[in-house]
Amino acid sequence: MHLKNDIIELKIDDITSEGCGVGRADDGIAVFVPFTAPGDVIDVRIEKVGKSCAWGRTVKLIEKSPMRNGSEKRGACPVYGKCGGCALRHISYDAELGIKKSWVTENFRRIGGIDPGDIEIRSTGHSDRYRNKAMYPAGTGPDGKLRFGLYAARSHRVIPCDSCMLEPEFYSDILRAAETFCGRVGLRAYEDGTNPSGTVRHLYIRDGRASGEVGVSLIMTKEKLPDAVGFVREIRNACPAVEMISVIVNKKPGNEILGDKVIKLWGKDCISDYLCGLKFNISPLSFYQVNRDGAELLYGIAAELTPIDENGTLVDLYCGAGTIGLSFARKKKIRRLYGVEIIPEAVENAKSNAALNGIEDAEFICADAGEAAVKLAADGVRPDVLVVDPPRKGCGPDVFRAVLAMKPPHITMISCNSATGARDAAEFLKMGYTVDRVLAVDMFPGTAHVETVVLITRAGS
């Protein structure tokens, strides 16, 4: 067994679903090394030793993996390896897509006991500057002044960030203007555990990628912003495309980002954007996909795979603000849409979005998914398709209750975690369904996340 601080030569053989390279030391233990790729030969310093594995950092790259060829085209990111965002920027984008495809395939085989065959992985082809939302935590710089940045990996330590390669360049202009303002009026960063008396928690920027509209919010522990007029002026000077400026109040201790009160300082109440041919109004507290082009690709693929005609009925569980169900309604021209969501604000957003786009045959219900499904079934609703887009932890018991109550011929599952997606697919198999198609979509290039679309059919349908 190697000891901490030992330096050993290691060949990287595989890469974990967190994007960490792994190889076997000469004594047989697995050594995990971040920012490496299968095929790398490295000198690695052992930093932590466990009972059956170890973790280390690269000291020297002896032999470069072929996966690194072409990685320089992705653009140098000044905080890569320091922040907790990207994990795969050191390899080419083609290699990244291959790795993510293998993750999905392996999860369905190993966890779900399902052979998905040679699955396809699709992407927009844009691996940089795709994010339309950023929340920069506030910290205190060496000079004692407030600084916005990004969290270091696995910590709440704020590191400076002049430019993140996943975000538009103009975000940096807004960030610097906000820092200048906070320094001028003497605002301090709220830092849970170290500076709880500070007032500024985050700088929140969001843009409508298709509309060009930008919204900026300062998240604070107090309602009153000193010299609010000056803040508006500096932000608008930094970015003329800004249409909305607000303060979001979060007085709760801890690391939760958003509060529940929005105070408009200038402009509109929300920004708007266009997705799948629909217009969406996006308030500061509304959920909206952080990769607009990727979401349009994902929803288009899901609609393309889903077998439903113009006379069909669709039930969308976990419907959020209605983006998936409404995009299906527009593309497929279905007869009836029911959306179910447990968060009241999201349900109201979904209703307003349906009205905004003239979609009348849509009903949105605020309830637990299982309870809503039982009620809909009792009312005689028999959906042709059930759409589920669960959180990373996967489908809860409410979804399986919904399936038992409604017995839909088809289920379209969109999963942001292929491990839980594979587990849930196996549960549907036990209920008399088959998995017809598995397809991966890279919504978040550079990171260790990949979306999966699964088409599931009831036997005999």
Q: Which residues are catalytic?
A: 416
Helices 93-110 and 418-430 pack at an angle, to 10 degrees, of 30
Rounded Cα–Cα distance for residues 372 and 310 (Å): 24
φ/ψ (deg, to 5) at 93: -70, -35
Rounded Cα–Cα distance for residues 130 and 165 (Å): 9
Rounded Cα–Cα distance for residues 39 and 91 (Å): 11
Rounded Cα–Cα distance for residues 406 and 402 (Å): 6
For residues 386 and 353, the answer to whether their CB atoms sit within 8 Å is: no
Reduced 3-state DSSP string for the chain: CCCCCCEEEEEEEEECCCCEEEEECCCCCEEEEECCCCCCEEEEEEEEECCCEEEEEEEEEEECCHHHCCHHHHCCCCCCCCECCCCCCCCCHHHHHHHHHHHHHHHHHHCCCCCCCCCEEECCCCCCCCCCEEEEEEEECCCCCEEEEEEECCCCCEEECCCCCCCCCHHHHHHHHHHHHHHHHCCCECECCCECCCCEEEEEEEECCCCCCEEEEEEECCCCCCCHHHHHHHHHHHCCCEEEEEEEECCCCCCCCCCCEEEEEEECCCEEEEECCEEEEECCCCCCCCCHHHHHHHHHHHHHHCCCCCCCEEEEECCCCCHHHHHHHHHHCCCEEEEEECCHHHHHHHHHHHHHCCCCCEEEEECCHHHHHHHHHHCCCCCCEEEECCCCCCCCHHHHHHHHHHCCCEEEEEECCHHHHHHHHHHHHHCCEEEEEEEEECCCCCCCCCEEEEEEEECCC
Q: What is the CA radius of gyration of the chain?
A: 24
Q: How far is CA 220 from CA 109, 156, 202, 270, 373, in A?
A: 46, 17, 7, 19, 39
